[in-house]
Structure 1
Amino acid sequence: MGMSFGSYTEVCNTVALVVCPLLGTSMGLEPICYSRNVEINSTVIFQPATCVIHIAALVMTAVMVYHIRSKYTAVGRKEIVLFFYLYAVSEILAIFLDSAIIPTYSGAYSWFSAIYVGLNTAIFWCLLVNGFVGFQFAEDGTPMSLWSLRISSLVVFLVTAFVAIATFKGIAGMSPKSQMGLFIVQFLFPIICVAVYVLSQIVLVLRTLDDRWPLGDIIFGVGFYVAGLVLMFAFSADICNGVKHYIDGTFFGVLCMLLSVMMVYKYWDSITKEDLEFSVGSKINVWEVKDPLLGSDADMVASSTSHSGGKGSFSAY
């Protein structure tokens, strides 16, 4: 596939993206090969296999968020969990858009597509900012750290969503045929964010950690991300024709993105440790009994021995 910078024509001829029906002519842009649809209760569902991966992504995200929130004293816990929340919301939207539960001819489709594009860009921005949390430019978990991340992610989301809807509706000099702005925010900006995040984490591991194993998580994460892009934008049509339209490159793109997100969690988990002294988890051994009416087992044994020997007294209140 030959991709022209700033143009979705070749991209949408290869893979069925959410934005493709809203670009080009009034009929939109369609891929030359896409996965077959299924009919459930008189409702046609597009990309059924890809929707299964979206649902699996939601389940895995819930598991990862649970484990992140259970690490009460880990560095950057509150910051990284926003990344996973944004990813979960984008996956929910993707289920409705990829499957065409929200029809492409509906007026709401363009607005939800713009929100989806904005969320995806905000996800990568949130990842980039999280890459600098470990350097402690601002203490993690503080209002300054949290609100700078939230507000900047919101700004990126709003700007990207505006560029998307302006492209779909032909506003502010953009149009379905003039796609440069949308191309930059949807493709170029995320790649830059990933590159900056990876470089910052390599520096963090080499300068501050004795263990080099987290570099493996970074390598696998980048590998899955690159593989997803290649399978989607280079081999989608070949995959689709090879498996007789059962799946296409979108399936592998979504799957590889899920694996990349899982490696982000694995990397964060490997470089953060809990301070058990201040942990409030379900570890009963960290609690110390302070009630003077309750003594240790040794004290109870000594008291019983003394009483049985007639040299002590036992008072009941």
Structure 2
Amino acid sequence: MSTPNLNFAFGNFNKICSTVPLTLCPLVGTTDGIEPICYSRNVKLADTLIFEPSTLIIHIIALVMTSIMIYHIRSKYTAVGRKEIVMFFYLYMLVTIFDLLLISGIIPTASSLYPFFTGAHVGLISATFWCLLLNGFVGFQFAEDGTPMSLWSIRISSFVVFGAVAAVSILTFQNVSPFSSTSPVALWVIFFIFNGAAFLIYVILQVVLVVNTLDDRWPLGDITFGVAFFATGQVILYVFSLDICIFAKHYIDGLFFGTIATLLSVMMVYKYWDSITKEDLEFSVGSKQNVWEVKELLGDDEMAGGGLYGRGAGNSPASGPYGQANYYEERY
């Protein structure tokens, strides 16, 4: 087994994978992959070794929290961009499920299926960032939200990104020319530059949207916290993971805190979207306004003779003891 160069270099994961156990690390660098210098302790459960148990717990919490956020988004029936933003959270949920299966060792690295699941996982990560980027344009109303054009443009393009990135990943893991697992430059560019650019552009778009469109500046706080959580998670994950693992005596590593920070940043995406969208109360308010309009159109003699809510007499439109029956029959 050859030992990879652990110095940081553009286009390889050697330094990164020696610090943090990413799902693709067993498949790049050398023929046997790259093992982290320090990693979280594993536990034995029903004759099965579970790796990163602390991170596994955070993944389960993330799935619960994402389900709650999706429920609240779907319950805001008339909110702008509801159907578009919920796609992002569905994709994040899929990323979390794949991460849970691969990081924990439920799908072992020795399995022939591991490269394909990992390729799908990397593809889902890029599709999630791409979906977030496109959601950044929804508020500008280039295409009316909720329309087939808006929805299917996000769905189809996200699926194309997923398929392309998954294909590049699998071809890299399988050393299919011109891709190589020992020099995964294309995969590195996708993983860090493409995904990072999508996130950065989304943030810029939302700052422009709030400053130019909204009177309220509080959503900028949500954006700031979201960026802070995400950036902090990336720094902990790729810079301090080894130090944390050694200090904590292998009980936790940077992946644990990185997963928490990612979950918090996703929650801030929801908080930001919720703060800039209001439900349209047109139906409930409109019916009340129409009632008042009918009352204003009644003549003085009708009001004096029982009118809208008095006891009907003669040709009065009211027939019940309080006059409601015929009013609602005629109104609706």
Give the TM-score normalised by the residue count of structure 1.
0.88
Between the aligned partners of 2:151 and 2:118, the Cα distance in structure 1 is 27
CA-CA distance at 1:5 after TM superposition: 1.4
The residue matched to 2:113 in structure 1 has which SS? helix
Pairing 1:228–2:233 present: yes
1:88-99 map, 5 Å: 88-99=93-104
Between the aligned partners of 2:320 and 2:228, the Cα distance in structure 1 is 73
Task: Give the number of equivalent residue pairs.
Answer: 296
Contact 2:84 2:135 in 1 (8 A): yes
Give the equivalent residue in structure 2 for 1:247: 252
Gap runs ≥5 in structure 2? 1-5, 292-305, 314-318, 322-332
Corresponding residue to 2:134 among 115, 129, 132 = 129
Amino acid across the alignment from 1:219: T
Contact 1:7 1:179 in 2 (8 A): yes
The residue matched to 1:210 in structure 2 has which SS? coil
Corresponding residue to 1:149 among 136, 146, 154 = 154
CA-CA distance at 1:24 after TM superposition: 1.9
Give the number of the structure with larger relative contact order, counting CA–CA contacts within 8 Å between residues 6 or more apart: 1
Give the equivalent residue in structure 2 for 1:309: none
Pairing 1:20–2:21 present: no
Between the aligned partners of 1:73 and 1:218, the Cα distance in structure 2 is 23
Corresponding residue to 2:64 among 50, 59, 63 = 59
The residue matched to 1:131 in structure 2 has which SS? helix
CA-CA distance at 1:3 after TM superposition: 2.8
**Closer/same/farther in 2, CA of residues 272 and 43 from structure 1, 3 Å limit:** same
Q: % of aligned pairs identical? A: 58
Pairing 1:112–2:125 present: no
Between the aligned partners of 2:209 and 2:8, the Cα distance in structure 1 is 35
Contact 2:12 2:29 in 1 (8 A): no
CA-CA distance at 1:172 after TM superposition: 3.1
Between the aligned partners of 1:214 and 1:235, the Cα distance in structure 2 is 30
**RMSD of aligned residue pairs (Cα, Å):** 2.4
Pairing 1:161–2:200 present: no
Contact 1:73 1:278 in 2 (8 A): no
Between the aligned partners of 1:273 and 1:302, the Cα distance in structure 2 is 39
The residue matched to 1:31 in structure 2 has which SS? coil
Give the equivalent residue in structure 2 for 1:292: none
1:144-223 map, 5 Å: 144-223=149-228
Between the aligned partners of 1:203 and 1:243, the Cα distance in structure 2 is 42
**Closer/same/farther in 2, CA of residues 149 and 32 from structure 1, 3 Å limit:** same
CA-CA distance at 1:80 after TM superposition: 0.3
Give the equivalent residue in structure 2 for 1:264: 269
Gap runs ≥5 in structure 1? 280-284, 289-297, 307-311
CA-CA distance at 1:41 after TM superposition: 1.0
Contact 1:57 1:91 in 2 (8 A): yes
Higher-Rg structure is 2
**Closer/same/farther in 2, CA of residues 300 and 257 from structure 1, 3 Å limit:** same
Give the equivalent residue in structure 2 for 1:282: none
CA-CA distance at 1:188 after TM superposition: 1.1
**Closer/same/farther in 2, CA of residues 45 and 220 from structure 1, 3 Å limit:** same
The residue matched to 2:167 in structure 1 has which SS? helix
Pairing 1:237–2:228 present: no
Give the equivalent residue in structure 2 for 1:7: 12
Contact 2:7 2:14 in 1 (8 A): no
**Closer/same/farther in 2, CA of residues 7 and 313 from structure 1, 3 Å limit:** closer
CA-CA distance at 1:313 after TM superposition: 9.7
